[in-house]
Chain A
Amino acid sequence: MFERFTKAAQAVLLNAVQDAEQHGAGEITAEHLALAVLVGEGTTAAGILDEYGLPRAEATDAIRATQRRGGLSDADTAALRELGIDVDAVVTRVEQTLGEGAISAAGKPARRRGLLGKSYRPFTDEAKRVIEGSLREAMDRGERRIGDEHMLLSVLSRHQVTAEVLAAHGVTYIGVRARLAKAS
């Protein structure tokens, strides 16, 4: 299955795994995948994002901010504000006692041993849906291989946080799909 991904898409997956490891996350999330797509350079997805003039650093920071909140989107935060709950205040309080990034690093501990004694990190259900979605996006376009542009499409349509962050810069699923169609 891995061979069906282009080099760029394989890099996205590996990048996401590394990112999770570096930040002590127990699971690989859709946020990790989205961030990995955003750091691509010279890839099809990168080309499209450059056409939009997406400021990568800003978008990355915004996604990391939601990671700090445990993946709660701006819409989630707004909904809770209506109830009088300030999510950022809650996160800050937790971090004061349990350290920076306490909420983003929580989840299943990555201590299960796989082959060769390496720590095994599962993908969250949402991350799995994003990966499966990228296969669907490629198939919908009649492409045999899954590229990082398909991962971009998948994360835009299946991950609310990414959709929100990128929409703020005019990057939408429909727009990206249209540009891909024009390019081929």
Chain B
Amino acid sequence: MSEATQLASAAGDQDPRVGLRAVVALRKLLERLEAVQVRNARTNGWSWQEIAEALGVSRQAVHKKYGRA
């Protein structure tokens, strides 16, 4: 590959748009998985405190995010 093509290829690979889009998609997937597992934990009788500890966040944060249940 000539230097110009190499540079063009590298620039394409480093395109922030592509990378950022993947981050957004990954965050969406992460949110869904978190919701599934929080629901699963509640179904299994876990307290908000226990869920919060497993997630490494405050009890208030989990409770606020996933509502009264």
Contacts and interface: CB of A to CB of B under 8 A. Distances in A.
B7 interface: no
A14 interface: no
Interface size class of A (residues with CB under 8 A): 20 to 34
Nearest to B23: A79
Nearest to A76: B25
Given A109-B69, A111-B69, A80 B25 contact: yes
Nearest to B26: A80
Q: Summarize A's interface: helix, strand, loop or mixed.
A: loop
A107 B35 contact: yes
A109 B69 CA distance: 7
A103 to B, nearest CB: 5
A178 B18 CA distance: 32
Interface string B8-50: 0000000000100110111011011101100110100000000
B36 A98 contact: yes
Contacts of B67: 108-109, 112
A82 interface: yes
Interface residues of B, number: 20
Interface stretch (A50-58, A83-91, A142-150): A83-91
Contacts of B36: 94, 98, 102-103, 106
Contacts of B68: 111-112
A72 B21 CA distance: 12
A70 B28 contact: yes
A133 interface: no
Given A103-B36, A108-B66, A112-B68, A82 B18 contact: yes
B36 to A, nearest CB: 4
A77 interface: yes
A50 B3 CA distance: 53
A168 interface: no
B25 A77 contact: yes
A106 B32 contact: yes
A79 B24 CA distance: 9
A87 to B, nearest CB: 6
Contacts of A139: none
A87 B39 CA distance: 20
The 3 tightest CB contacts between A and B, nearest first, are: A70-B32, A76-B25, A106-B35
Given A72-B25, A79-B21, 8 more contacts: A70-B28, A76-B24, A79-B18, A85-B26, A87-B29, A94-B36, A102-B36, A109-B69
